[in-house]
Amino acid sequence: MRKRELKNVEWTILIVAIILCVIGLVALFSATQETEHDEFNKQCIWFAVSLIILIGVILIDYEAIIKISPVLYGLFIILLIGVLFTPEINGATSWFDIGFFSFQPGEFAKIFVILFLALAINKIQERGKQEINRPTRLLVLLAILGVPVLLIIKQPDFGTAAAFIVSAALMVIAAGIDKKYIIATIVLVVVSVPLIYNFVLPEHAKARIDIFLNPESDPRGAGYNIIQSKLAIGAGGLTGMGLLKGNQTQLGFLYPKSTDFIFAVIGEEMGFIIAAAVVILYVLLITKSIYVAKTAKDEVGSLIATGITGIFLFHVVENIGMVMGLLPITGVPLPFISYGGSSLITNFILVGILLNISSKRQKTIFVK
């Protein structure tokens, strides 16, 4: 990478990601005390691996990655089909267990769906800006998105599927899709929600929505986790109860505390100040990602950065929202903080792509 490109890199994104990881490791150290810090030790290894992969992604021109994105997209479609035939883990067939590492193809698929979708949109736009609004073109984009989404829903993993949809929606909006399609989609969603709830969603998904609306209806069953999560966050106060001293965290009332509810651990043991700092860091990460999208040297780079922003935005809002009882529980991890090798490596690859795009950007923001 040339000196000029190094100066262009939006290093703030990387700094924020590393700080979030450090906070996550501290929370994991406390949350995994009873297991002799097994998950903490593994996460440290994945953190080191992620940084090595990040360097490689930064050094490879993102245009070269885009060119092979159709092949990688196809490969992960095959993996998403194959994972359906694996044994269930926590009620879902989402992982390939290869001994020392549980590989979750749905996480890595985010990268290549965004890249391939950006490539497809860019190819359509090369024929004319209004080509994106032709129904046949939209059907092509819908097929690219729909195949992995349907396979992930089949696992079932509705949270990850929703992340794909939010990311793709932001990308087509940024590409200049006509407002009539946006309005039609909103109307369709409003009309279809009760139908999906009554005739499509499995019972466990319905239960999560019901509990979100009224967790006290089953305080010892389905509503238990969210009630304990809110108790943990409330007990933390301004400065927290102290590491290794949280009641809900250390006495086993909070579950799963290393993944879905890690933010509750932070709120209880580190308090409002650190929890608020985490939120501010995420806001900074997302705004800087938007800035990379606005200053990208080309349309395809802008679309990719927009898609990555959508992934981060959905995960942050959904995870923090669910642990505070503001959104239904979906099992979506908190980026850079929740335990999980697949999630951590994927997030750092996305950061690497953002840094790669920013290194090639123009000095001034152009208006789209």
Each of the 368 residues of the chain gets a pLDDT tens digit; together they read 667 778 889 999 999 999 999 999 999 999 998 888 889 999 999 999 999 999 999 999 899 999 999 999 999 999 999 999 988 877 788 888 877 678 899 999 999 999 999 999 999 998 887 888 899 999 999 999 999 999 999 998 889 999 999 999 999 999 989 988 889 888 988 888 888 887 777 777 777 788 778 887 777 777 888 899 999 999 999 999 999 999 999 988 888 899 999 999 999 999 999 999 999 999 999 999 999 999 999 999 999 999 999 999 999 999 999 999 888 888 899 999 999 999 999 999 999 999 999 998 765 444 44
pLDDT of residue 48: 96
Write the DSSP symbol of residue 85: G
Q: Residue 364: inside a domain, yes or no? A: no
C-beta separation of 262 from 24 below 8 A: yes
> Can you tell me whether residue 119 is helix, strand or coil?
helix
Q: Which domain holds residue 173?
A: 3-359
| Range 29-52 burial, b when 16+ CB lie within 10 A, else e | bbbbeeeebebbebbeebbeebee
Predicted pLDDT of residue 101: 74
DSSP 192: H
Where does 83-202 have alpha helices with state H? 105-125, 135-154, 158-174, 179-199
- Does residue 285 sit within a domain? yes
Which pLDDT value is given to residue 1? 60
Is 48 part of a structural domain of the chain?
yes
Please check whether residue 366 lies inside any domain of the structure: no
Residue 365 included in any domain: no
Cα angle 190, 196, 201; round to 5: 140
Q: How many domains does the chain have?
A: 1
pLDDT of residue 128: 80
Model confidence, pTM? 0.92
CB contact burial 216-246 (16+ within 10 A = b; e otherwise): eeeeeebbebbbbbbbbbebbeeebbebeeb
Q: For residue 89, what are the β-bridge partners?
A: 92
Q: What is the pLDDT of residue 98?
A: 78
Residue 368 lies in a domain: no
- Give the pLDDT of residue 141: 94
| 253 touches 247 (CB < 8 A) | yes
How far is Cα 81 from Cα 236, in angstroms, rounded to an integer? 43
Q: Domain for residue 232, yes or no? A: yes
**Does 298 fall in a domain?**
yes
Residue 66: strand, helix, or coil: helix
